[in-house]
Structure 1
Amino acid sequence: MIKFFRKIRQSLLLEGNTAKYLKYAVGEILLVVIGILIALQINNWNEVRKELINETKILKTLNAEFTQNSITLDSILKQLNRMEQSLSFVFQNIKPDPNLDYTPEQLDSLLSISFSDPYWTRSEYTLRNLESSGKLSTLKSEDLKSKLYEWSLVATDISDKDSDATQGFNILLNYYRENGSLRNLDEGGWVITEGRSSLDYDHFKFFTDIVFENIIDDCLVYTRQRIRRYNKARIIIDQVIALTQTADNKDD
C-alpha cells in the first residue's frame, strides 16, 4: 500500500502538476489521520469492553459475597433473637420471691441459651481486595461505592460491639461457673454427654441475687444493641445485593 502511494506521488511529480500533487498529498494526509482516529477508536472500544468485563466480574463476586453474608446473618439473627428472649425472661423473673414453675432440667435448658453468644463470621475478602488494589474507585456506580463505604463503617461498629458483648457474656459464664453447675447447663449440647451432675446445686437462687441481675442486665443490653446493628447491616446487605445485580445474577 505504501509503495502504491509512493508511485502515485512520483508520477505526479514527473508530470510537474504541483496543484494536483498538493491535493493528493493533502488527501493522503487526511487518509492517514482518519486511519489513526479509527485505530484509536477501536482501541478505546477495546479498553471500554475490558473495563466492562472486569466490572461485571467484580459485581458478580461482590454479589456472591454479600449473598453469602446475608445467609449467615439470617442464621445468627435467629440465634440472637432466641437468646434475647431467654435473657428477657430471666430478667423479668428476678424478684424477691420468684415463682418459677420449672423443673431444674427445664431451668437449666433456659439458662444455657442465655450465654450462647453466637458470633457472626462474615466474608469481607472481596471488598478488602478492592480497597487494597485501588479497584474500588473504578466502580461506575456512585451509589454502590457509597453503600460499600457505609458497610465498612457498620462492619467495624459490629466488630466493636461483638467484642464488648463477648466480655459481658464471659462474665455471665464465670458467674455460672462459680455459683452453679456448668455440667448441667452444658447437658443439652452435643459436647457433654455424660449426664447431669450428682452434686448439690441450686440455679433457682440466681433469681434473688442482685449480682446476677446486674450481669443479665448487661448481657441483655449487649444483645439488643447487636440485634439493632445486625438489622442495620441486613438493610445495607440487601442494598448492595440489589446494586450488584448483573444479567447473569438475574438469570440465576
Structure 2
Amino acid sequence: MIPFFRRIRQGLLSRNKFSKYLLYAVGEIILVVIGILIALQINNWNEDRKQEERFRNVLEQIYNVVHTDIATIENQIQGNLYHIEVLDLVLNQLDSIPDNELQNIITSMEFAGVTSTRESEFFISQLPINLKDQRQLRILKQITNFYIGNVFRDQNIMVKSTNLNSLFDRNDLPRPYQFPGFRDLEERYSQKELSQIRKLFKSPEGKSVLRNIRNEKRRFNVLVQTYLDDGKSILKMIKNYMPEVRMLYEDIGILGTATIANWNYSIPMTKTGENDEIWEIELELTEGAVKFRSRNSWTQNWGGQSFPEGKAEYFGPDINVEPGNYKVRLDLNKETYQFIELDK
C-alpha cells in the first residue's frame, strides 16, 4: 500500500502538478489521522470491554457476599424470635421447663449476632469503575452506602453479653457459654446450680435481666429489618444490571444421621447446570436428619424445617427425613430443596 501511494506522489511531482500534489498530500494526512482515530477507538472499546468484564466478575463476588449476609441475618432474626418465646416462657412458666431444656436455654439466651462479614470491604475496594458509566457509578454508590450504614447499625444493635454474665458473677454461678451450637463443649450445670438459677430467675433482679435481654432481641430484629430490605434491593439491582449473576460454590455435599456419612463427612453432590446453582444426588436415606454444606465445612451450611421439600435456610435446623431412596435436589439460587422419592 505504501509503494502505491509513493508512486502516485512521484507521478504528480514529475508532471509538475503541485496543486494536485498538495491536495493529495492533505487527503493522505486525513486518511492517516482517521486511521489513528479508528485504532484509538478500537483500543478504547477493547479496554472498556475488559473493564466491564472485570467489573462483572467482582460484582458477582459482591452479590454472593450480600446474599450470604442477608441469609445470616434472616437466620438470626428467626433465632431471636424463638429465643424471645423461650424468655417469655422462663419469665412466666419457669417451673414447667425440664432441667435439660433449661441447660440449653441458659447457654444461648443472650446471643444475637452481627449483621455482615468483612469480605464486603475487600471486594468493594477491588471493584473497577468506569467513571464514564453512570450505571456502574450508581451501583457502587448504593453498595457503599449499604455497607457504611450497616457498620453504624453494628455498633448499635449488638446484644450485650455482659448482662447475664454479671448476674451470674454476682451470684457465684459459672458464666453461660456464649457460643450456641457449641454448647455441648460446656460443662453442664449441676443439679444444685440449676436450683440456684431457678431461684435467681424468679427474683426481681433476675427477671429484670431477662426482660432486658428479651427487649434487646426485639430491638435487634426491628433494626436489622431495614438492613434486610436494603440488602434485597441491592441484590435486585445487581440482578437487573447482570441477569446472568449466580451464586458461586465449588462443591456441595449432604450429610447427617440419615446418611452413611452420619455427621463425619459430606457426601458430594453433582452440579447439574452451568449457570444454575443446582446440585443433585441419588441416595438411600434412613430415618434421621440431614443438612447440606459447602467445602466439607460448617462455615457455609443449609438446613430446613419441612420434608420432602422446603426453603433452604442458611445455618438452618436439621432436616428430618423419612426412610427411602431419593433424588435430592438443592437449588441455591432459589433457596429450595426437594427429596423426590424414586421407584423401588
The one-letter amino acid of 2:155's match is D
Structure 1 or 2: larger strand share? 2
% identical equivalent positions: 23
Counterpart for residue 63 of structure 1: 63
TM-score for the superposition, normalised by structure 1: 0.78
1:173 lines up with 2:165 in the alignment = yes
Distance 1:136 1:122, change over 3 A: farther
Query: How big is each residue's C-alpha offset from its partner over 1:100-121, in whole Å with a ceiling of 9 and x where there is no partner?
Result: 5415516724742663414237
8 Å contact 2:104–2:183 — kept in the other structure? no
Distance change >3 Å, CA 219–CA 212, structure 1 → 2: same
1:222 to 204, 209, 216: 216
Larger RCO, structures 1/2 (Cα 8 Å, 6+ apart): 1
The corresponding residue for 2:153 is: 158
Q: How do residues 1-252 of structure 1 correspond to structure 2 at under 5 angstroms?
A: 1-91=1-91, 93=92, 100-105=94-99, 108-109=102-103, 111-112=105-106, 115-120=109-114, 122-131=116-125, 135=128, 138=131, 140-163=135-158, 165-166=159-160, 169-179=161-171, 182=174, 189-192=183-186, 197-199=190-192, 201-245=195-239, 246-249=242-245, 251-252=275-276
Q: 1:105 corresponds to which letter in structure 2?
A: D
Contact in 2 for aligned 1:104/1:203 (Cα 8 Å): no
Alpha-carbon deviations, 1:70-128, whole Å to 9, x = none? 2222222222221222233444x3xxxxx654155167247426634142373232444
SS of 1:123 mapped into structure 2: coil
Partners of 1:101 and 1:161 lie apart in 2 by 34
Consecutive unaligned residues in structure 1, runs of 5 or more: 94-98
User: Partners of 1:234 and 1:6 in 2: how far apart?
Assistant: 71
1:164-185 superposed Cα distances (whole Å, 9 cap, x missing partner): x22xx32213323543765999
Contact 1:130 1:136 (8 Å CA) reproduced:
no
Q: CA deviation at 1:225?
A: 1.8
SS at match of 2:116: coil
| CA–CA separation in structure 2 for the residues paired with 1:28 and 1:103 | 95
Paired amino acid for 2:109:
F
Q: TM-score, normalised by structure 2?
A: 0.59
More displaced stretch, 176-185 vs 236-245 = 176-185
Query: CA RMSD for the aligned pairs?
Result: 3.2
The 3 A distance-change label for structure 1 pair 68 and 54 is same
Partner of 1:96: none
Moved more, 45-54 or 134-143: 134-143
Shift of 1:141: 3.8
Using the alignment, how far apart are the partners of 2:87 and 2:210 within structure 1? 7
Counterpart CA distance in 2 for 1:6 and 1:112 is 94
Q: 1:155 to 1:234 in 2, by over 3 A?
A: same
Summarize the Cα distance change of 1:189–1:125 in structure 2 as closer, same or farther, 3 Å threshold: closer
| Unaligned segments of structure 2, at least 5 residues | 247-274, 277-344
Q: Is the 8 A contact 2:59 2:238 kept in 1?
A: yes
Change beyond 3 A, Cα 1:41–1:198:
closer
- Do 1:59 and 1:244's aligned partners in 2 also have CA atoms closer than 8 Å? yes
Instruction: Answer yes or no: is the 8 Å Cα contact 1:158–1:226 preserved in 2.
Output: no
Aligned residues: 240
Runs of 4 or more off by more than 6 Å in structure 1? 183-186
Q: Distance in 1 between matches of 2:213 and 2:185?
A: 24
